[in-house]
Structure 1
Amino acid sequence: MPEPAHSAQPLTAPDTRPPCLATIEPVVAGDRTVVTCRGEFDIGAQELQPELCAVLDRSATGVDLDLDEVRFCDCGGLNVLLSLRREALDQGKTVTVRTCGPVVGRLLDLTGARELFMTGTPAHSGGSDTVAAAPVPAPVLVPFPGPGPVEPSPTVAVDEELRLEVDQLRRAMRTRPAIDVARGIVMASFGLSTEDAWTVLVTASQNTNTKLHHLAQDLMGAVHGAPVPEEVQRQVAAAVARVREGNAE
């Protein structure tokens, strides 16, 4: 008697995408739309990209962001805002940051991206860190070429410095997605918070003398069955134990 045939079950890869821990609330204000952002803007916030673009499409002249209630923001979250800004430029619109807390403000300053979200109009009041309007530079008089080098104008120097900082940010963003996914894996595997998972990754990276994005690639490979170096496993476990001991005190 033939054995009953069993239907093959499709193999599905586990969803390793980090969860979206951010929300947005758009409010139309005349020809612009004010978008209040809350929560944590990391790589998971990419899920909000279609909704943000839809809000931009419906606005007449652009979007003003209220980031006061953003508790955490890294390069993954900033990439979402930069993508929205690029889309606005393509539509002849603008994206500004009305207000932001110290978390976002520090990231904007460190990356030199604050100037990208300024306009020539006065900033809206409110918030703990209001983004001021960009000053209009005075005309620069270029002297007639003569003996000796011509000093570059201050405006040119500032523009060049900003371009360099943005280039550095883009290079960082190429490796940051893997790091954010690895952080999500540590959060899910050990039941840790965002901050504790970040501490575990940084500690393990330092103790194994491994670059953070290489460590992240190792952890991402483990999800698909690739072996993780034993030293990395030991250091991750030790870092998790230290974090839990600190939380228990």
Structure 2
Amino acid sequence: MPESAYTTQPATFAPSRPGQLSTAALPDGARTVVTVCGELDLQAADELRAALRGALESAPEGIDLDLQGVVFCDCSALNVLLALREQALTEGKTVTIQAAGPVAERLLTLTGTWPLFTGAADDEAGGPELGAEVVQLRRAMQTRPTIDLARGVLMATFQLSPQDAWHVLVMVSQNTNTKLHVLAQDLVTAVQGEPLPDATQRQVSAAVSRLSESGGSGAAGDEGT
């Protein structure tokens, strides 16, 4: 993959394949605006982490993210964002989301992490609330292994791709008004012998059927996060 941009000069990298991660960093006074486009998944996590850490290092006050061009985003990318914000807080900087499309916003909303990037808590960075903020970030990051396990359960049970399994998780979470990590824990527990609630079972079956009817990955892009 091409190197990500995080120099002090405006730079962009066009993706060589549809959906590939691309980033652009533009200094704006003491902050840096970083535009991120493409698919933010496990494959892109290392590149995304390097780009954002480089941008944060060169920005005295922090970075503002533009995620309008993100077409897919899962928990591997979320962990990158959460770790970045934790690092920024310990350095007396802030990370905010300046703009976000429905894909990125939906993930952050479902996982309860959207308020961490809206700037509401930025005035407290470095102050007495710093310890509590870092604890909250670490707690959010701890949910990822369970969510990844639940995605694996769906992949094995229904022969789904990683992205399709993610779409099913998101759809069921929305349709049952259940937090993503709670749903994931229920799915993992079900493998160990505890049955899923009937309503959740019906929603999982319906989501898989809907995904199959729409053609799987790509066709379900508007539903995914």
- TM-score by length of structure 2 reads 0.53
2:110 alignment counterpart = 110
- What CA deviation, in whole Å up to 9, does each residue of 1:186-217 have, x standing for no partner? xxx99x683378559x9xxxxxxx9755999x
Counterpart-to-counterpart distance in 2, 1:82 and 1:115: 12
Shift of 1:167: 7.2
Greater CA radius of gyration, 1 or 2?
A: 1
Q: Which of these residues, 140, 143, 160, is aligned with residue 172 of structure 1?
A: 143
Instruction: Tell me, yes or no, if structure 1 residue 64 matches structure 2 residue 64.
Output: yes
Counterpart-to-counterpart distance in 1, 2:58 and 2:104: 26
Shift of 1:166: 6.0
Instruction: Tell me, yes or no, if structure 1 residue 94 matches structure 2 residue 90.
Output: no
Q: Which of these residues, 178, 188, 194, is aligned with residue 163 of structure 2?
A: 194
Answer yes or no: is the 8 Å Cα contact 2:38–2:71 preserved in 1.
Answer: yes
Counterpart-to-counterpart distance in 1, 2:42 and 2:154: 10
Amino acid in the other structure paired with 1:247: G
Amino acid in the other structure paired with 2:93: K
Q: How many residues of Structure 1 are paired with residues of Structure 2 in the alignment? A: 162
1:41 alignment counterpart = 40
User: Residues 179 and 43 from structure 1, CA distance in 2 versus in 1: closer, same or farther, beyond 3 angstroms?
Assistant: farther
Structure 1 segments unaligned to the other structure (5+ residues)? 1-19, 120-132, 137-159, 203-209, 217-239
Amino acid in the other structure paired with 1:52: L
Q: SS at 1:64's partner residue?
A: strand
Shift of 1:85: 0.6
- What CA deviation, in whole Å up to 9, does each residue of 1:33-77 have, x standing for no partner? 101011122233321212211111111111100011111222221
Shift of 1:118: 2.8
Instruction: Tell me, yes or no, if structure 1 residue 247 matches structure 2 residue 215.
Output: yes
Shift of 1:164: 10
Answer yes or no: is the 8 Å Cα contact 2:21–2:44 preserved in 1.
Answer: yes
Q: SS at 1:112's partner residue?
A: coil
| CA RMSD, 1 decimal | 4.4
User: Residues 163 and 244 from structure 1, CA distance in 2 versus in 1: closer, same or farther, beyond 3 angstroms?
Assistant: same
Amino acid in the other structure paired with 1:195: D
Counterpart-to-counterpart distance in 1, 2:210 and 2:102: 28
Q: SS at 1:79's partner residue?
A: helix
After the TM superposition, which residues 110-189 of structure 1 pair with which residues of structure 2 at under 5 Å, given as runs?
110-119=110-119, 169-177=140-148
Counterpart-to-counterpart distance in 2, 1:65 and 1:97: 5
Shift of 1:93: 0.9
Answer yes or no: is the 8 Å Cα contact 1:112–1:166 preserved in 2.
Answer: no
2:26 alignment counterpart = 27
Counterpart-to-counterpart distance in 1, 2:64 and 2:118: 10
- TM-score by length of structure 1 reads 0.48
- Percent identity, aligned pairs only, is 35
Amino acid in the other structure paired with 1:194: Q
Answer yes or no: is the 8 Å Cα contact 1:72–1:104 preserved in 2.
Answer: yes
User: Residues 212 and 77 from structure 1, CA distance in 2 versus in 1: closer, same or farther, beyond 3 angstroms?
Assistant: farther
